[in-house]
Amino acid sequence: LKTGWFSELTDLLPGRSFSMEVEQVLHQEQSKYQEILVLKTKSHGVVLVLDGMIQCTEFDEYSYQEMISFLPLFSHPKPQRVLIVGGGDGGVAREVAKHPLVETIDQVEIDDRVIELSKKYLPFMAEGFNSPKVNLHVADGFKFMEKHTQYYDVIITDSSDPIGPAVSLFQKSYFELMKRALRPGGIVCSQADTFWGHLKNATSMRNHCKAVFARAAYATSYVSTYPAGQIGFALGSLDENTDFKNPVYQLTDKQRKDMKLRYYTTDIHKAAFALPAFVVDALDEA
């Protein structure tokens, strides 16, 4: 390896690696839950890395934060109470707070060090925490879910990968807890890995939704700095009339510009459910 480069080397991605040239290591520590690394890179601005995996880069973070937020929010007719699990950088809170019908946002992040470091080094994302709609809880998302019943309209799980503290958020029992925490008509959306090489994880997340909810779907997006440049989302709805492919709100160009959206459009929303043949077949068979 060239010196001065960060390489994503983890057991989750055997035999391959994505690298970026580092200008400065802004911060490095072992928190109670994970190894946190904040880098200033030549090509991607500030980058947050947890346990060796890239969580977000200044260059393309909006592609992920907007999609994980607006795929579920624009599929729900009245998303007033939203819960975000994970998302310690504040980027998803920033997006969710833009939705005019959202009244309250609870967020439960396990690691307060991610929150504090994001406020310091990723203020363009952590600005999400400044919204008066946001109530931040530092706790385990799985345990938080056990304590809530029939309360939320939308639950967004912006979790790190299924290793370390996030493992429980990929289990079927977590989807059952989310179902209980939703009001009638509620919708969930979870980070669901890439179908390139991790097809089993992707189908398993969609299957949890299918087993637990009246409607389930898998959507995809491009995120240039995530493994294989692609990440999926598992969506579930308590309402059997939910048609994820056709959002209940279609944004005009003016509306999306007013909301400062840089990735999400109504066309991108619809297209997110068009999947490659091998993925369609794997989901059919799963």
76 DSSP 8-state letter: S
Which residue lies nearer to ligand AAT by CB, 23 or 116? 116
Q: Is 106 tagged catalytic?
A: no
Q: Does 165 bind ligand AAT (CB under 6 A)?
A: yes
Report the half-sphere exposure of 250 (CA within 13 A, side-chain side): 4
Number of residues that bind ligand AAT (CB under 6 A): 32
Choices 126-134, 140-148, 181-189, 212-220 (CB under 6 A): range interacting with ligand AAT: 140-148
**Contacts to ligand AAT from residues 82-111, by CB under 6 A:** 85-89, 91-92, 108-111
Q: How far is the CB of 153 from ligand AAT (least distance, A)?
A: 20
How much helix, strand and coil, in percent to the nearest 5, is found in the chain? 35, 30, 35
Q: Does 169 bind ligand AAT (CB under 6 A)?
A: yes
Q: Which of 226, 233, 263, 264 binds ligand AAT (CB under 6 A)?
A: 226
| Phi/psi-derived region of residue 276, left when phi > 0, alpha when psi is between -120 and 50, beta in every other case | beta
Q: How far is the CB of 97 from ligand AAT (least distance, A)?
A: 14
**Contacts to ligand AAT from residues 227-256, by CB under 6 A:** 231
Q: What is the DSSP string of 82-126?
A: EEEEE-TTSHHHHHHTT-TT--EEEEEES-HHHHHHHHHH-HHHH
Which residue lies nearer to ligand AAT by CB, 11 or 253? 11
Q: How far is the CB of 213 from ligand AAT (least distance, A)?
A: 21
Q: Does 8 bind ligand AAT (CB under 6 A)?
A: no
CB-based burial of residue 286 (10 Å sphere; 0-12 exposed, 13-18 middle, 19+ buried)? middle
Q: Does 160 bind ligand AAT (CB under 6 A)?
A: yes
**Contacts to ligand AAT from residues 41-60, by CB under 6 A:** 50, 53, 55-56
Q: How far apart are CA 92 and CA 86, in angstroms?
A: 9
Q: How far is the CB of 110 from ligand AAT (least distance, A)?
A: 4
29 DSSP 8-state letter: E
Question: If you compute the radius of gyration of the chain from its CA atoms, what whole number of angstroms results?
Answer: 18
The residues, any chain, with a CB within 8 Å of residue 160's CB and separated by 6 or more, are 34, 50, 51, 53, 55, 86, 166
Q: Which of 141, 162, 186, 236 binds ligand AAT (CB under 6 A)?
A: 141
Among the listed residues 106, 111, 140, 158, the single catalytic one is: 158
Q: Which helix (H) or strand (E) holds 22?
A: strand 19-30
Q: How far apart are CA 216 and CA 7, in angstroms?
A: 35
Q: How far is the CB of 286 from ligand AAT (least distance, A)?
A: 21
Q: Which helix (H) or strand (E) holds 283?
A: helix 277-285
Q: Which of 74, 142, 218, 264 binds ligand AAT (CB under 6 A)?
A: 142
Q: How far apart are CA 225 and CA 265, in angstroms?
A: 21
Q: Does 117 bind ligand AAT (CB under 6 A)?
A: no
Which residue lies nearer to ligand AAT by CB, 226 or 263? 226
Contact predicate 13/227, CB 8 Å: yes
Binding-site ranges for ligand AAT (CB under 6 A) = 50, 53, 55-56, 64-65, 85-89, 91-92, 108-111, 114, 140-142, 158-161, 165-166, 168-169, 191, 226, 231
Which residues does the annotation mark as catalytic?
Answer: 158
